[in-house]
Amino acid sequence: MAKKYEILSHTADIGIRAFGKTAEELFTNAACGMFDILADTKGIKLKEKISVKLKAAKFDELLAEWLRELLYQYNTTGIIFVEFAFQKITPTEIQAIAQGSKAPNKIKTEIKAVTYHDLEFKLTDDGLQAQVIFDV
């Protein structure tokens, strides 16, 4: 199975490099990477659903926006999101449904924020690749 994401080491913080054959896969894998840092996501059920509609000037900023939105939703509702369905992804716009449930006892790390530091997106021979650093 293709690698979904890898953890990047950073002195004070933590990052992920996410992969995907399509934009949908890339956005899914980046979100899964973020929630895996945050919590033990095993056994999370698809009880809660939110819809997300976002715009950004560039594709990498759209990815940052996506993660920021999911992180905000987690921070105010406690929901860990594990499944994502996309109605629309363009280089500057996204519409999606995220599903998950609360995991009060499985939280591992507080992610304070998604940063723009070393935020990167590129096309590779295998598809799409992006990296994001989180402030923890």
Partner 1 sequence: MSEFADQLVKIDDYRWKIPKSAKSGMRVDGIIYADEKLLKDIFQDKALEQVANVAFLPGIVKASMAMPDIHWGYGFPIGGVAATDVENGGVVSPGGVGFDIGCGIRLMRTNFRYEDIKVKIRDLTYALFNNVPSGIGSQGDIKVSEKEESQIMLKGSKWAVSKGYGVEADLEATEENGAIAGADPSCVSDRAYERGKKQSGTLGSGNHFLEIQEVETIYDAETADAFGISKGMITIMIHSGSRGFGYQVCDDYVKGMISCLQKYGISVPDRQLACAPVDSPEAKSYLGAMRAAANYAWNNRQCLMHLVRMTFEKFFAMSWQKMGMDLVYDVAHNIAKLEKHKISGKEKMLCVHRKGATRAFPPGHPELSARYQQTGQPVIIPGDMGRNSYLLVGTEKAAETFYSTCHGAGRVKSRTAAAKAFNAVKLVSDLEKKGIFVKATGRATIVEEAPLAYKDVNDVVNVVHNAGISKKVCRMRPLGVVKG
Note the residues at the interface with partner 1 (CB under 8 A). 7, 9-14, 57, 61, 65, 68, 72, 75-76, 78, 107-110, 112-119, 133, 135-136
Instruction: Report the distance separating Cα 131 and Cα 133, nearest Å.
Output: 7
* Longest CA span, the chain: 40
Taking the complex as a whole, how short is the minimal distance between the CB of residue 2 and partner 1, in angstroms?
22
Per-residue tokens: 68: 């920021």
Instruction: Report the distance separating Cα 87 and Cα 105, nearest Å.
Output: 32
Q: Which is nearer to partner 1, 15 or 25 (CB)?
A: 15
Taking the complex as a whole, how short is the minimal distance between the CB of residue 108 and partner 1, in angstroms?
5
Instruction: Report the distance separating Cα 44 and Cα 40, nearest Å.
Output: 9
Taking the complex as a whole, how short is the minimal distance between the CB of residue 37 and partner 1, in angstroms?
10
Taking the complex as a whole, how short is the minimal distance between the CB of residue 39 and partner 1, in angstroms?
9
Q: Which is nearer to partner 1, 45 or 116 (CB)?
A: 116
Q: Which is nearer to partner 1, 3 or 117 (CB)?
A: 117
CA angle 57, 63, 65 (to 5 degrees): 70
Q: Which is nearer to partner 1, 57 or 85 (CB)?
A: 57
Instruction: Report the distance separating Cα 125 and Cα 103, nearest Å.
Output: 37
